[in-house]
């Protein structure tokens, strides 16, 4: 996804970082330590405990495929919340929340508006016109909440590429078509290190726990066995989708191959820690509770 300016609203004061409404509260047992880049267990994920999936509802404003169309998320009291910052990243051990932005077999380029209050989902634009992929995407596509690809971090494992300043993207390979704004429980299976115009844009390959084949796939080798050709198809789709518009193909790091589930979890951990640091430095000290 294209890098954008990120916005924050704290106590009615707008800053230049991100939207966050209220104190950051760690989940039970979380140890809030920063700076580690190694693979770590569940207790090291940082999350807001304000909301859980059953309390979240979707509210459309405007007409689809118009410049004004927005998909907002609201809590049980009807208050708007941020899908990026207020939806927890992790549910159980190895299970994560995935927010659908672009349902499979559609082409409208929908994305969380990181530069708008409450970060609703909207259709991306270029030069005032709505953007579409040149052809349908074949999988559900969206983001992991409470993650952030830090544009100041040069990843030495991926050609020194800098983060794209967005949440981490997910490609969900299950058979069902999601809906815009739908929150799916998924388990990561692999990771692709896409490099888009010099920026690192991770693609986490995952599957919904509700998919009939979910119990069969637990790592990259299972994907090759039960979804043969899918990892190559995902890489090739994201490599080539800009070519019809006259742009060069995207590149991929890590030997142009998908990495394992363990590596995907490392990416999720690191980008969740980046998000937590972003939140920490964006909120006045008196409004942040980290323990």
Active-site amino acid positions: 133
CB 34 within 8 A of CB 276: yes
CB 63 within 8 A of CB 173: no
Tally the C-alpha atoms within 13 A of residue 125's C-alpha that lie toward its C-beta: 12
Q: Which of 123, 128, 91, 98 is nearest to 110 (CA)?
A: 123
CA quadruple 61, 64, 69, 72: dihedral positive or negative? positive
132 beta partners: 108
Q: In the block, which residue shows the tokens 């950051």?
A: 24
Structure tokens at 90: 């992790």
Q: In the block, which residue shows the tokens 């989902």?
A: 121
Burial (CB < 10 A; 0-12, 13-18, 19+), residue 78, is exposed
Structure tokens at 257: 């191959």
């Amino acid at each position: 996804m294209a890098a954008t300016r990120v916005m924050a609203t704290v106590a009615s004061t707008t800053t230049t970082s991100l939207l966050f409404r209220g104190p950051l509260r760690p989940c039970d047992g979380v140890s809030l330590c920063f700076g580690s880049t190694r693979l770590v267990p569940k207790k090291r994920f940082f999350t807001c405990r304000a909301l859980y999936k059953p309390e979240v509802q979707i509210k459309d404003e405007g007409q689809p495929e118009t410049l004004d169309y927005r998909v907002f998320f609201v809590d049980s009291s009807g208050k708007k919340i941020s899908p990026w910052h207020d939806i927890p990243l992790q549910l159980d051990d190895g299970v994560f929340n995935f927010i659908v932005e672009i349902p499979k077999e559609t082409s409208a380029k929908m994305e969380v508006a990181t530069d708008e209050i409450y970060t609703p989902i909207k259709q991306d634009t270029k030069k005032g016109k709505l953007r579409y992929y040149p052809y349908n995407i074949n999988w559900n596509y969206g983001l992991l909440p409470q993650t952030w690809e830090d544009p100041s971090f040069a990843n030495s494992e991926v050609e020194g590429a800098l983060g794209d300043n967005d949440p981490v993207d997910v490609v969900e390979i299950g058979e069902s078509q999601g809906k815009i704004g739908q929150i799916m429980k998924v388990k990561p299976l692999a990771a692709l290190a896409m490099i888009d115009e010099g920026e690192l844009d991770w693609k986490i390959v995952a599957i919904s726990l509700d998919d009939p084949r979910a119990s069969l796939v637990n790592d990259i080798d299972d994907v090759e066995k039960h979804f043969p050709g899918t990892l190559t198809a995902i890489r090739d789709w994201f490599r080539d989708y800009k070519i019809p518009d006259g742009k060069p193909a995207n590149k991929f790091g890590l030997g142009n191959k998908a990495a394992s589930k363990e590596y995907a979890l490392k990416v999720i951990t690191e980008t969740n820690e980046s998000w937590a640091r972003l939140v920490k430095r964006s909120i006045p000290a008196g409004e942040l509770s980290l323990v």
